[in-house]
Amino acid sequence: MTMVKIALFMFVFIIFVFGFLYFWGINPGDITVYLTADQSITFPAPIILVTAILIGLLLGNGVHILSLGVASIGNWRRNRRHKKEEEIGVIYRNGVARLLSGDLKKARQLLQKALDRDARRIDTYLALGNVALQEGVPAQAIDFLLKARDLEPKSIEVLFKLATTYAETGRSGDAMDVYRELLANDSDNRKALRALRDLHIEQSEWQDALALQKRIVKAASSGPKSDSEKQQMLQLRYEVANQALAEENLEEASNTFRELLKQQADFTPARVSLGDAYRKMNRASDAAEVYQEGYRHQKRSVFLSRLEDLYMSAEDPSALLGFYRTQMQQDNTDLLLKLYLGRLCLRLEMVDEALEQLQAVESSGVNFRQLHLLLAEAYRRRRSIDDAMAEYQQALEIDSRLNLGFICDVCGAIHAEWNGRCTACGSWDSLSLPERQQIQDARPSEQKAIPHGQR
């Protein structure tokens, strides 16, 4: 192969020499090149032509060699950078693996090593932030996340992580600012809208929450959460109206409550608050009608409670008794109505009728603390002490041995007997006397000496 190249080179060289001699033969003249006004150089035309060709070849080859050198250096740098990135990536992945396995100390060492080698990796700052959070150092986690935001101010991942960390550490105002910053770049980001809305709800800032909810409903008009978001907007409209009610803007509040009931007739909070608004507007009959209609259609105890408060404050218990008895004629199996009628009769010292209604509830198999307390009070007023004591024991869930029971210090589950493990939450050695801490913290009062002769 080498001999072929040499032969080819010699062939080309010989052709070039013969061509040069031929060109010189047919161009015998000289060419004068003036360097200055007084100095000049004279060469045969073929010499100048060949010189120009050679210079062009040299320049072309020089540029080619230079470009090859630059490309080689660039490739070397890219390969070196790629190798460095791979090494850092391995360190980072090992650090994340240690983090997931719970080895926080080793995870921090590896991730810090990755950060030292490349201080512009966003994912490393995020991972170190997670390490700091798990170590219980949220301030340090926020510092890492702020550095990540400085590197990529518009990174959605960084902004979400920073906002959630602020929220988890109780810095709701800072979290709101970050969510607003995120929405400035992506105004239809539903996750950010919902998160910011929830923060406003936590702060009871109902107007701001409602404004955001309108944007969410618009953005999710055809999504799977459309119905739930519309329901959320109805609830927020209620809270805004309820705030107006608290601020004595009664007309505005009552109008909104009526609109909400037209939109959803079984929305209990709006119906209850509409009755409350009528009471504040001194429209007691309208309030009573709202409460009564609410109970007829929804059978919710809050309406009976509101009716009792309304009529008793007006010193008109007979009207309430009339409503109860009318309802009983329409539905004699309404145990909730029997319970409230029994309580009302007890308040009015109509003990026999109270017992009749309360016993009807108890005989149906209903068993809860408030019922036993009402029965105990009724028996006490009839001076049936034994029956009253039995009901009090059931209400207080104590037996004849006055067993105090146990409570789980972790989850609050109540247990009649002690056990080494709470069956509700699975915690070990967590059952104790319900008021153990209060008893331990208390100090016995000093016993006073009894004067001589007074024993």
The model's pLDDT over 86-144, given as tens digits with 9 standing for 90+, comes to 888 889 899 999 999 999 999 999 999 999 988 889 999 999 999 999 999 999 999 99
pLDDT in tens, 215-267: 999 888 776 788 899 999 999 999 999 999 999 999 999 999 999 999 999 99
Q: Model confidence at 84, in pLDDT bands (50, 70, 90)?
A: confident
Tell me the residue type at 348.
Answer: L
Domain residues of the chain, as ranges?
404-435
pLDDT in tens, 312-340: 999 999 999 999 999 999 999 999 999 99
Greater confidence, 454 or 206?
206
Please give the sequence-ordered ranges of beta strands (E in DSSP) within 173-249, or none if there are none: none
Q: What is the pLDDT of residue 448?
A: 57
Cα Rg, the chain, nearest whole Å: 45
Averaged pLDDT for residues 70-85: 80
CA 128, chain centre distance (Å): 21
Does residue 455 have a pLDDT over 60? Answer: no
Q: Model confidence at 166, in pLDDT bands (50, 70, 90)?
A: very high
Contacts of 3 (CB under 8 A, 6+ apart): none
Greater confidence, 59 or 166?
166
Specify whether the backbone of 382 is left (phi greater than 0), alpha (psi in -120 to 50) or beta.
Answer: alpha
Does residue 47 have a pLDDT over 90? Answer: no
What's phi and psi for 332, nearest 5 deg?
A: -80, -5
What's phi and psi for 76, nearest 5 deg?
A: -65, -45
Q: What is the pLDDT of residue 72?
A: 82
pLDDT in tens, 1-24: 677 777 787 777 777 777 766 766
Task: List % helix, strand, coil for the chain (3-state, nearest 5).
Answer: 70, 5, 25
Tell me how far apart the alpha carbons of residues 143 and 348 are, in angstroms, rounded to a whole number.
Answer: 65
Assigned token pair, 92 = 């980072």
Greater confidence, 368 or 268?
268
Assigned token pair, 26 = 């047919």
Beta pairing class for 406-408 and 40-44? unpaired
A 10 A CB-CB count for 228 gives 11
Averaged pLDDT for residues 374-398: 86
Averaged pLDDT for residues 39-57: 74
> Among candidates 396, 354, 403, which has minimal Cα distance to 379?
354
**Torsion angle of the four alpha carbons 60, 65, 68, 74, in this order, in degrees rounded to the nearest 10:** -110
Contact at 8 Å (CB) between 371 and 362?
A: yes
Beta pairing class for 40-44 and 414-415? unpaired
Averaged pLDDT for residues 66-82: 81
Contacts of 397 (CB under 8 A, 6+ apart): 369, 405, 414
User: What's the chain's average pLDDT?
Assistant: 87
Q: Model confidence at 156, in pLDDT bands (50, 70, 90)?
A: very high
Q: What is the pLDDT of residue 356?
A: 92
Q: What is the pLDDT of residue 451?
A: 60
Tell me how far apart the alpha carbons of residues 113 and 225 are, in angstroms, rounded to a whole number.
Answer: 44
Greater confidence, 112 or 28?
112
Contact at 8 Å (CB) between 58 and 81?
A: no
Tell me how far apart the alpha carbons of residues 139 and 146 are, in angstroms, rounded to a whole number.
Answer: 11
Greater confidence, 397 or 427?
427
What's phi and psi for 34, nearest 5 deg?
A: -90, 120
Q: What is the pLDDT of residue 432?
A: 85
Sign of CA dihedral 120, 123, 128, 132: positive
Averaged pLDDT for residues 145-166: 94
Does residue 208 have a pLDDT over 90? Answer: yes
Does residue 395 have a pLDDT over 60? Answer: yes
